């Protein structure tokens, strides 16, 4: 498995397995199958409500904890300094682990300053090997960097052929923040899996559209966490290290960019209000 080095020296697999929208009752089996397929990076979140199932699969796998890279995320806290530690400890308990490899602020709302101060301490204590953010727009990311000691190791944002985030990618590269993609397949929107450009490139390499998309992201230096509950798809998604896209193919995919989210814009006031109103308790 190829890896990237985060800004604090921690190695992170460039390809992981995500469990967003995997029902809790199906998560343990899905993670078990993903580990059997070779995945060693797992991405979950408190908001997914399946951390405990991820932990159960890990514990039953027999794989040494040191061989795994586990990411989870902190949901919106209105009083970050008072509640973040408790939320983190709940995640550790659910996962059945003494530490996480990456802890992310899930959304750029609520008391993110208070959350980050606590997360900096978790990093210092070794409870989190690295800390980062998710869904932070460039302005919010730079603001966080400028007012704190620790630069986020990762910013996990929607990134797919229809929303490529080139400007954000350049900014993160300049600031030492690793770009990580969620929704690499745009959940199939815009008929991604039958797109003529992606299909033609896949035909040249004997690969599926999904494999082309994952390879395109990896060649951009972007960490990616595809999700599937089907073992055959898990294996297919994992099989992307034996071919390379040409500069011309990369350019053809670049032309697919619409510059628009396939889901919602985190700068939208309605989106901010909706997400901030979601509570896990």
Residue 6 lies in a domain: no
Task: Return the pLDDT at 161.
Answer: 98
pTM for this entry = 0.97
Residue 131 lies in a domain: yes
Residue 1 lies in a domain: no
Would you list which residues are annotated within the binding site for substrate? 106
Task: Return the pLDDT at 271.
Answer: 87
C-beta of residue 193 within 8 angstroms of C-beta of residue 160 = no
Residue 5 lies in a domain: no
Residue 139 lies in a domain: yes
Q: Which residue stretches of 41-165 are H helix?
A: 51-61, 80-95, 112-125, 138-146
Picking from 155, 86, 72, the residue whose alpha carbon sits closest to that of residue 114 is 86
In the block, which residue shows the tokens 């008072």?
82
Residue 123 lies in a domain: yes
Task: Return the pLDDT at 93.
Answer: 98
Task: Return the pLDDT at 272.
Answer: 87
Pairing of strands 131-134, 154-158: parallel
How many residues would you count in the chain? Answer: 281
What is the per-residue pLDDT across 79-132, written as a single tens digit (0 to 9) for each?
999 999 999 999 999 999 999 999 999 999 999 999 999 999 999 999 999 999
What is the extent of the structural domain holding 212?
Answer: 12-276
Residue 88 lies in a domain: yes
Below-50 pLDDT ranges, the chain: none
Q: Would you please indicate which residues are annotated as catalytic (active-site) residues?
A: 48
CATH number, domain with residue 54: 3.20.20.100
Rounded-to-integer distance, Cα 245 and Cα 253, Å: 10
What is the count of structural domains for the chain? 1
Task: Return the pLDDT at 278.
Answer: 87
Task: Return the pLDDT at 1.
Answer: 83
Residue 4 lies in a domain: no
The DSSP line for 221-270 is T-EE----S-HHHHHHHH--SS----HHHHHHHHTT--SS-SS--TT-HH
Burial label for 10, CB within 10 Å (0-12, 13-18, 19+), is middle
């Amino acid at each position: 498995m190829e890896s990237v080095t985060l800004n604090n020296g921690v190695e992170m697999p460039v390809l992981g397995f995500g469990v967003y929208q995997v029902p809790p009752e199906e998560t343990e089996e899905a993670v078990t199958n993903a580990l059997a397929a070779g995945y060693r990076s797992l991405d979950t979140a408190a908001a997914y409500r399946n951390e405990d199932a991820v932990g159960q699969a890990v514990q039953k796998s027999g794989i040494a904890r040191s061989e795994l890279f586990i990411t989870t995320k902190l949901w919106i806290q209105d009083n970050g300094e008072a509640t973040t530690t408790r939320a983190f400890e709940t995640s550790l308990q659910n996962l059945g682990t003494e530490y996480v490899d990456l802890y992310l602020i899930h959304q750029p709302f609520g008391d993110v300053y208070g959350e980050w101060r606590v997360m900096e301490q978790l990093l210092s204590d070794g409870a989190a090997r690295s800390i980062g953010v998710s869904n932070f727009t460039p302005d919010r990311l730079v603001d966080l960097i400028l007012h704190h000691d620790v630069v986020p190791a990762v910013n996990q944002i929607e990134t797919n052929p229809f929303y490529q985030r080139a400007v954000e990618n350049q900014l993160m590269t300049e600031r030492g923040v690793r770009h990580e993609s969620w929704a690499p397949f745009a959940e199939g929107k815009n008929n991604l899996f039958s797109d003529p450009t992606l299909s033609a490139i896949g035909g040249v390499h004997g690969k599926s559209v999904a494999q082309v998309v994952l390879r395109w992201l990896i060649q951009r230096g972007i960490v990616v966490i595809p999700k599937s509950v089907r073992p055959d798809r898990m294996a297919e998604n994992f099989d992307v290290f034996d071919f390379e896209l040409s500069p011309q193919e990369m350019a053809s995919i670049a032309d697919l960019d619409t510059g628009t989210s396939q889901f919602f814009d985190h700068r939208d006031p309605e989106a901010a209000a909706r997400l901030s109103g979601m509570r896990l308790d």
